[in-house]
Structure 1
Amino acid sequence: MTKTAILILAAGNSTRMGEIKQLLPYGNSTLLQHAIRHAKNSIAEQVFCVLGARSTRIQKSITEAIVFIQNKNWQDGLSSSIACGVENIQLMDFDSILVMLADQPKTDTAYLNLLIETSVKHTNKCVASDYGTKNGVPAVFPKAYFKELINLKGDRGAKILLNATDETVIALDAQDKLQDIDTPEDYARLLKK
């Protein structure tokens, strides 16, 4: 049986939003709480969340039982959060890690399960979300990629790994699941739907 962990990235400073994005109201909770619930309802064995900027305030707002990982280098960008999270999780006995963002509220449990189920059938490949012109997260990385993830640098995340050859990456049609909430305009559009 393949064991998958979910790693939610929520360490950013929300500069473009102008307020703490993770705590923005959405549904009957917040953007981060919403992401955590969908992750916890999935078939993954355990859910982890990387925090950085304003971590104490954000952590206090979460009512779900979840493992938080502190990224002291969150200013170094998305890659540092992935590296920090994977470095902590690799010490446990997981076969793969699904990396997702806290600010993609349309990413639901069914889609997370589809990613995990696909990775179980293709244990040596990354399973990414197809953005049309490129692949990105949410994505599942098998254990063979953990070292590369820990060595990531900059704010590009795992794009290089996810846009390699078809032999190493399976890209799933994410349909409308990938709307990022980065600006007040993005948030306003989300609430109108």
Structure 2
Amino acid sequence: MNTYLKTTLALGGLVLAATPVYAADYVIDSKGAHAAIEFRISHLGIGWVSGRFNTFDGQFSYDAEQPNNSTVSVNIDTSSVDSNHAERDKHIRSGDFLDVKAFPTAKFVSTQYTDNGDGSASLMGDLTLHGVTKPVVLAVTKGGEGKDPWGGFRVGFEGSAEIQLKDFDISYNLGPASETLYLTLTVEGVRQ
């Protein structure tokens, strides 16, 4: 093989290797009822209160070939909290808990995605809740991906995290068993 051909092949290989792989952008299908943000918290150490946020939106970038480049951003309307009990929801929206008049939005913005190579990952990011921003880590599992019946392409994930209410300046005391809030996010994204 002559020197010119070797040089051309080597340069071509470098160009291909240097070509960036771009992650696909997805919009979370929260309006199509294919996503949920749910929570549960112990009630007085006796039982559980479960609920959800009915209004939220978000987007993420994901590339199955380079998952560690993934990014996520989610906005939550805190007044949309729904624990299936109107009076309790009114209390959760009050200054004792979410104080939705002062803090109408909660937000999560990822800072790092670490793929574990087995369908699970750790998603680190900043959660802003009740006017306080703190780092949180979500344990993530990938559901699947593929074409949908409407000509689009979707990918799904589920993430879970535990947060301490006091870390977000929510100090209403329901006892030590009720200091930890368990969050679960189930998302299906539609590729843009």
TM-score bracket for this pair, using the shorter chain length: under 0.3
Q: Which has the higher helix share?
A: 1
Normalized against structure 2, the TM-score is what?
A: 0.24
Larger radius of gyration: 2
